[in-house]
Amino acid sequence: MTKVQLKGVRKEFGAFTAISQIDLEIASGELVALLGPSGCGKTTTLRMMAGLEVPTLGQILFDDEDVSEVRVQDRNVGMVFQRYALFPHMTVEKNVMFGLKVRGTPSDEIKRRLEEILDVVQLDQFRHRFPAQLSGGQMQRVAIARTLITNPSVLMMDEPLANLDTKLRGEMRRFIRDLQQRLGITTVFVTHDQVEAMELADRVAVIFNGELAQYDAPDALYQRPNSIEIADFMGASNIFKAQITGGIARTAFGDLQLDQTVCQVRDGSGHVLLRAEAIDLLLSDADADQNLIAGKVTGREFFGATVNYTVDCNGEAITVNEQSRRMVDVGQDVWLTIQPQRIWVIQNPV
């Protein structure tokens, strides 16, 4: 159980600034994702926490103790690399024991902890295999076991689900979550995939261009992004220019009533964010009372469980996502409605 803090951390590689300044606090036992596009500095941040890079400025604290200058070998962190970095010339067993062997742990204790951890990751029957003889999910479990056996104070993972196929992804996601909660180990992982971040993390730190852009729980980040870039990165499709006056957003396709308890707005320009799944698509205008938008269906994408409709509303294309319990034909006139509390407004800070 370790609390991790980054205080004014900056990292330069020669003339290139990878991280301009980051302040971040990760509570003990928390699972945090560092999310951002490639080259944003998230991997550098992780490597600094692990001790593979030394920050140019600022401090890294584990439980309020400055570890910025502590050697990687002495920092007692664990890292699971994206491609697992299992030693190909060692069996599963030898891979897992590596960390304890190099630390000179007595052999009977190594044996005991090996059995324990192989049981946790359910790899007992594969102990004499070489990494090349394992599947992707098994390799990842070996990598996790090899790290956890050393009892690291912080566990780090680089794109933990990226190399797995869809079916394994769900399995490994549950596995990692369960394990993390059971052991209560502070965990940080890096990803460029917002779905991976949301499905795994307690809190997500979005990093853009070497700076912390937003640090929030997944649902807050998804529903209430604080900039258009974040909304866009989190996969929002319906972002429209609006003029805000007295709790009402004027857009190209009509006026929208806002809920001021959900988002504090001030009069002036801004953008409204309408989540595609928060919009109801109606075939007649009789069923709705407010925020009614008239339009025409111009496109349909069928995904099985859900359908995406593209609706043209006075020149703006609004995407609506709904359960595929019915099919609305392209070309049909429809009405869209959205509840005021589901509308989020992004305004430039004053």
Partner 1 sequence: MARRQMKSALNTRLSSFQKIYLLLIAGFILGPFIPLIIQSFAFRWAWPDMLPSTWWLEQRDRSILPLAWDYVLSPYSRVWEATLNTVFIGTVVTAICLAICLPAARVLAREKFKGKAAFEFFLSMPLIVPEAAIGISLLMIFIKLGLAGSYLGIIIVHLIPTIPYMIRMLTAVYQGLGRDFEEQAMILGASKWQVMRLVTLPMLLPGVVAGALFTFLVSTNIFLLTFFMGQGQIITLPTLLFSKIAGGTLDASAAGITLVVTIPGIILLLITERFIKEEAFGKGFGN
Q: Is 109 exposed, middle or buried (0-12, 13-18, 19+ CB in 10 A)?
A: exposed
Least separation in angstroms between residue 296's CB and partner 1 is 51
CA distance 96 to 98: 6
132 lines the binding site for partner 1 (CB under 8 A): yes
Nearer to partner 1, 57 or 70 (CB): 70
Which two structure tokens, joined as six digits, stand for 324? 């595929």
CA neighbor of 272 nearest in space, from 204, 307, 225: 225
- Pick one of 58, 61, 98, 276: the residue that binds partner 1 (CB under 8 A): 98
Nearer to partner 1, 157 or 231 (CB): 157
Least separation in angstroms between residue 10's CB and partner 1 is 22
Where residue 311 falls (left for φ over 0; alpha for ψ -120 to 50; beta otherwise) is beta
CA neighbor of 34 nearest in space, from 169, 203, 154, 179: 203
89 lines the binding site for partner 1 (CB under 8 A): yes
Nearer to partner 1, 117 or 343 (CB): 117
Across 170-304, the runs of DSSP E, i.e. the strands, are 186-191, 203-208, 211-216, 239-245, 248-251, 254-257, 268-274, 280-282, 292-302
Least separation in angstroms between residue 14's CB and partner 1 is 12
Place of tokens 């990878």: 18
Nearer to partner 1, 161 or 274 (CB): 161
Q: Which helix (H) or strand (E) holds 123?
A: none
130 lines the binding site for partner 1 (CB under 8 A): yes
153 lines the binding site for partner 1 (CB under 8 A): no
236 lines the binding site for partner 1 (CB under 8 A): no
- Pick one of 23, 65, 102, 302: the residue that binds partner 1 (CB under 8 A): 102
- Pick one of 15, 16, 64, 88: the residue that binds partner 1 (CB under 8 A): 88
271 lines the binding site for partner 1 (CB under 8 A): no
150 lines the binding site for partner 1 (CB under 8 A): yes
Dihedral pair phi/psi, residue 252, rounded to 5°? -65, -25
Least separation in angstroms between residue 203's CB and partner 1 is 24
In one letter, which amino acid is 101?
K
**Spatial contact of 9 and 55, defined as CB atoms under 8 Å apart:** yes
CA distance 30 to 1: 9
87 lines the binding site for partner 1 (CB under 8 A): yes
131 lines the binding site for partner 1 (CB under 8 A): yes
Least separation in angstroms between residue 50's CB and partner 1 is 6
Dihedral pair phi/psi, residue 56, rounded to 5°? -70, -40
Binding mask 38-77 for partner 1 (x = CB under 8 A): ------------xxx-------------------xx--xx
Residues at the contact surface with partner 1, assessed by CB under 8 A: 50-52, 72-73, 76-79, 81, 83, 85-89, 98-99, 102-103, 130-132, 139, 146-147, 150
